[in-house]
Copies of this chain bind each other. A is one copy, B any other.
Amino acid sequence: MRLLLSNDDGAYAAGLTSLRAAMAEISDDIVTVAPDRNRSGASNSLTLERPLRVRRLEAGLYCVDGTPTDCVHLATTGLFERDADMVISGINAGANLGDDVLYSGTVAAATEGRTLGLPAVAVSLIGENPTHYDTAARVAVDMVRLMIRHPLPADTILNVNVPDLAYEALDGFAATRLGNRHRAERLIEDSDPRGRPIYWIGRAGGEADAGPGTDFHAVGQGRVSITPIQIDLTRHGAIDSLDEWVQWL
């Protein structure tokens, strides 16, 4: 079974290195295609305006001067002679909980693997400067092994967040829904050394909807949260009332 690995922190990030080492326990056919630098916050962005370059760093490890989505897109549309069977993205240095998922390059890399016919998994390790990559890597191994034994539907995309604890200190796994953050914090105004104004995007908001059932809640209790993600962005429940509204137009 060929595993395709990627991430959004870049080809040399510690989280990806841990993931590669762990996945070697499961398969001896692993290819990793990751951005050549940190592309956190890249979401599902695709590079359409310029061509991409692929650099082979070592056997089975490639980097691309593009986004996580570019990496998985190239890897699944002809970069290699043989298709991968599954995509595992991560281990992200930091949580991807609630609204974070909209912006996450880690989750986007998994999403882009959706056409491969097997589930895709995005793994994130919670914390500002998390350290237990071994824990997250072991969780990833647990999940991929189980997926092989007990397959999930082919179009499943799982967003996995792991508390920054020793593996033994984890309190199990929970199937969750995405919670919700408050509105982002105010932008940060500053000036460059030449006195010109610059603006940084502010920090993500705090937890708003973080009650039982959410990913925020699960990880707050020391559990690994596993949230199924959907690709179809249609808000199906709103179509009927919109249908009436449209009559006024």
Residues of A within 8 A of B (CB): 12, 36-38, 40-54, 57, 65, 67, 69-70, 73-74, 76-79, 99, 101-103, 105, 108, 111, 115, 128, 142-143, 146, 149-150, 152-153, 156-158, 172-178, 180, 183-190, 192-203, 226-236, 238-240, 242-243, 245-246, 248-249
Contact = CB atoms under 8 A, between A and B. Distances in A.
Nearest to A209: B232
A103 B52 contact: no
Contacts of A196: 53
Copies of this chain, complex-wide, total: 4
A37 B40 contact: no
A194 B226 CA distance: 26
A245 B152 contact: yes
Contacts of A234: 177-178, 227-230
A45 B178 contact: no
Contacts of A231: 99, 102
Contact of A235 (B41, B143, B194, B228): B228
A196 B54 CA distance: 10
A132 B178 CA distance: 40
Nearest to A149: B248
Contacts of A178: 232-234
Q: Which of A38, A49, A67, A226 has the most CB of B within 10 A?
A: A49
A65 to B, nearest CB: 7
B45 A41 contact: yes
Contact of A73 (B74, B201, B242): B201
B229 A242 contact: no
A194 B53 contact: no
Contacts of A188: 193
A3 B248 CA distance: 22
A190 B45 contact: no
Contacts of A186: 77-78
Contact of A43 (B44, B176, B246): B44
A77 B187 contact: yes
Contacts of A101: 233
B228 A128 contact: no
A195 B196 CA distance: 22
A238 B228 contact: yes
